């Protein structure tokens, strides 16, 4: 087969379109009719990042996948070091020490750590003797995820930490015992329930459910079930109590507010609910086909905060309407599905897990970012991949794509 035809032009094309849409909307979001220089400078910075990203993508096409596999641990270590280095060299921006400032550019090492973790996990799972169902192996995988997550939490940047923990989905897809999946679902459910109806109510529900499970069985089975049910019940109760303790005593007020607004327990559209309200107004007012490029009144008026970064999707929603948002959503979906498809065509585990890691990162970002913008999940400050303004994120995803494209190309060799 012609070696150019073996290349995944489609994914590269999707990447370019999404970045292009992102650029156009960043321009609109920061556009000021009186001072176009501002928008232009934003453009320049983002274009420089894109340029570097494209160069990296191009260069990676000449690096054998084996190279990445061999040096994955080192790359992982480098990213851990870069996170640790923040304590010494990092710059504090709005309360979080997450940035290196080099010249006029800022770099956010936690973005690159995502690539590092993906590589490390891929290497770990691709190991000769590794079996994810074995406790020793999955504990190792957990450690790989936990170290950078812990470091980012301490910055503090809980958003990125949640993203890093999202690699759990890859482990699940790779065959992690299903217990963990249900356990996490169960704990998430308990978490929301506790916040909604308080720890006391949740405890009652737990005990009623536990009793019902035991009582409704036949006697023989009930006896067998009694001990595990009590055990699980106690764990759940402990979790519930700790959730309410953490929520009330460890969380800061702003975190509590975010949850309360989402759960509908608090309505304050001028104060803490401002972001989520304004972003929904912006998107909702776009209607079917939007208000037209550079015509968004919410966008022009600067009502949505952080619009060029985390809330870039509101510009799409307002100026391009339902048509625009569905196109963007569609492009992301196609890209993700394509990556997943490619993953399962890979011959070795390393490549497969890395591709799944890439897809997983896109998935978690899209889910949390769009969920936040559309008011489905609490406000968690993470960017929309490829589209949000910000060099580190774009570069990190470019690196992901570069390696991915090489894997696509190489699998048929």
Partner 1 sequence: MRTRFFTIAIGLLSLVLFLRLFNLQILSDEYGNLSLKNSVLKQYVYPERGYVFDRNGTLLISNQPMYDLMVIPKNLKVFDTLDLCEMLRLTKVELEDRLYKAKRYSLRAPSVLLNQISKQDYAVLQEKMWKFPGMYIQRKSVRQYHTNVASNILGYISEVNNYDIQTNPYYVKGELIGRQGVEKTYEKILRGKKGVSYLQRDKFNRIIGPYKNGMLDTLPTAAQDLTLSIDIALQEYGTALLANKRGGVLAIEPNTGEILMSVSTPTYDPNALVGRERSTLFEALKKDTLNRYLFDRSLQGQYAPGSPFKVLNALVALEEGVVDPKMSFKCYGGHYYARNQFMACKCSPGSKNTLNKGIYRSCNTYFSNVYRRIIDKDNAVEENINNWHNHLRSFGLGNYLGYDHPVGQPGYVPNANFYNLWYPNQRWRGATIVSNAIGQGEILMTPIQLANVATTIANRGYFFTPHFVRGVQGDFIDPKYKTKRTTTISKEHFTHVVEGMADVVRRGTARVAAIPGIEVCGKTGTIENFTKIDGVRTQLTDHSVFIAFAPKDNPKIALAVIVENGYWGGRWAAPIASLVIEKYLKGTVKRKWLEQRMLNGSLEAEYAKVTSNKPFEINE
Q: Please state the closest distance from residue 259 (CB atom) to partner 1, in A.
A: 19
Which residue, 169 or 243, is less far from partner 1 as judged by CB? 169
140 sits near partner 1 (criterion: CB under 8 A): no
Q: Give the CA distances from residue 76 to residues 125, 153, 161, 285, 361, in Å, rounded to whole numbers and listed in that order.
A: 14, 18, 16, 44, 16
Helix, strand, coil percentages for the chain (3-state, nearest 5): 70, 5, 25
Q: Please state the closest distance from residue 120 (CB atom) to partner 1, in A.
A: 20
From residue 163 to residue 202, what is the string marking binding to partner 1 with x (rule CB under 8 A)?
A: ------x--xxxx---------------------------
DSSP line for 156-167: T-HHHHHHHHTT
Which residue, 244 or 299, is less far from partner 1 as judged by CB? 299
Contact segment (CB under 8 A) with partner 1 among 114-122, 137-145, 334-342, 399-407 equals 334-342
Among 106, 130, 217, 285, binds partner 1 (CB under 8 A): 285
Which residue, 24 or 132, is less far from partner 1 as judged by CB? 132
Asked if 85 and 109 count as a contact pair (C-beta separation under 8 A), the reply is yes
Residue 373 CA to residue 274 CA, distance in Å, equals 12
DSSP line for 354-398: HHHHHHHHHHHHHHHHHHHHTTSS-----PPTTTSS-HHHHHHHH
Q: Please state the closest distance from residue 303 (CB atom) to partner 1, in A.
A: 5
Among 359, 372, 396, 405, binds partner 1 (CB under 8 A): 359
Which residue, 224 or 341, is less far from partner 1 as judged by CB? 341
Q: Is the peptide bond before 11 cis (omega within 30 degrees of 0)?
A: no
Q: Please state the closest distance from residue 272 (CB atom) to partner 1, in A.
A: 16
367 sits near partner 1 (criterion: CB under 8 A): yes
| Pick from 252, 287, 242: nearest CA to 272 | 252
The tally of CA atoms less than 13 A away on the side-chain side of residue 388 is 22
Q: CB neighbours (10 Å) of residue 225?
A: 14
Q: Please state the closest distance from residue 264 (CB atom) to partner 1, in A.
A: 16
Q: CB neighbours (10 Å) of residue 373?
A: 26
Contact segment (CB under 8 A) with partner 1 among 58-66, 141-149, 190-198, 366-374 equals 366-374
Dihedral angle sign, alpha carbons of residues 409, 410, 411, 413: positive
Which residue, 187 or 370, is less far from partner 1 as judged by CB? 370
- Number of residues in contact with partner 1 under rule CB under 8 A: 49
Q: What one-character DSSP code corresponds to residue 299?
A: H
Which residue, 210 or 361, is less far from partner 1 as judged by CB? 361
Tokens of 236: 């759940």
Cα three-residue angle 405-406-408, rounded to 5 degrees? 65
Q: What one-character DSSP code corresponds to residue 134?
A: S
Residue 118 CA to residue 127 CA, distance in Å, equals 14
121 sits near partner 1 (criterion: CB under 8 A): no
- CA 119 to mean position of chain CA atoms: 17
From residue 238 to residue 277, what is the string marking binding to partner 1 with x (rule CB under 8 A)?
A: ----------------------------------------
Among 287, 345, 347, 413, binds partner 1 (CB under 8 A): 287
- CA 127 to mean position of chain CA atoms: 26
Q: Please state the closest distance from residue 174 (CB atom) to partner 1, in A.
A: 6
Among 302, 345, 347, 412, binds partner 1 (CB under 8 A): 302
319 sits near partner 1 (criterion: CB under 8 A): no
Q: Which residues bind partner 1 (CB under 8 A)?
A: 33-34, 169, 172-175, 278, 280-288, 295, 297-298, 300-303, 317-318, 321-322, 325-326, 329-330, 332-333, 336-337, 340, 343-344, 356, 359-360, 363, 366-367, 370-371, 374, 376
């Amino acid at each position: 087969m012609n070696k150019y035809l073996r290349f995944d032009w489609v994914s590269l094309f999707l990447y370019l379109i999404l970045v292009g849409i992102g650029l156009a909307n960043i321009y609109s979001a920061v556009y000021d009719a009186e001072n176009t220089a501002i928008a232009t400078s934003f453009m320049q910075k983002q274009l420089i990042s894109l340029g570097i990203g494209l160069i990296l993508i191009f260069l990676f096409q000449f690096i054998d996948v084996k190279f990445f596999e061999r040096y994955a641990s080192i790359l992982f270590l480098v990213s851990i070091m870069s996170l640790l280095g923040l304590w010494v060299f990092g710059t504090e921006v709005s309360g979080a020490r997450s940035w290196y400032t080099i010249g006029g550019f800022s770099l956010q090492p936690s973005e690159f750590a995502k690539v590092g973790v993906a590589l490390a996990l891929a290497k770990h799972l691709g190991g000769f003797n590794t079996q994810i169902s074995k406790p020793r192996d999955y504990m190792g995988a957990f450690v790989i995820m936990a170290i950078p997550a812990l470091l980012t939490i301490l910055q503090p940047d809980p958003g990125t930490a949640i993203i890093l923990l999202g690699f759990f989905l890859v482990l699940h897809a790779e065959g992690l015992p299903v217990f963990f999946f249900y356990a996490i679902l169960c704990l998430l459910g308990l978490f929301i329930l506790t916040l909604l109806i308080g720890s006391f109510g949740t405890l009652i529900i737990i005990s009623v459910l536990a009793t019902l499970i035991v009582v409704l069985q036949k006697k023989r089975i009930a006896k067998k079930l009694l001990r595990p049910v009590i055990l699980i019940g106690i764990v759940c109760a402990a979790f519930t109590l700790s959730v309410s303790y953490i929520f009330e005593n460890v969380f800061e007020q702003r975190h509590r507010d975010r949850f309360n607004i989402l759960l509908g327990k608090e309505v304050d559209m001028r104060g803490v609910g401002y972001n989520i309200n304004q972003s929904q107004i912006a998107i909702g007012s776009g209607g079917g086909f939007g208000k037209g490029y550079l015509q968004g009144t919410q966008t022009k008026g600067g009502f949505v905060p952080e619009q060029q970064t985390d809330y870039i999707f509101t510009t799409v929603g307002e100026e391009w309407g339902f048509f625009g948002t569905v196109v963007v959503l569609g492009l992301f979906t196609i890209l993700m599905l394509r990556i997943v498809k490619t993953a399962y065509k890979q011959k070795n585990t390393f490549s497969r897990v890395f591709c799944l890691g890439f897809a997983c990162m896109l998935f978690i970002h899209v889910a949390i970012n769009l969920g936040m913008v559309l008011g489905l999940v609490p406000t968690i400050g993470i960017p929309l991949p490829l589209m949000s303004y910000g060099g580190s994120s774009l570069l990190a995803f470019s690196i992901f794509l570069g390696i991915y494209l090489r894997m696509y190309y190489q699998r048929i060799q």
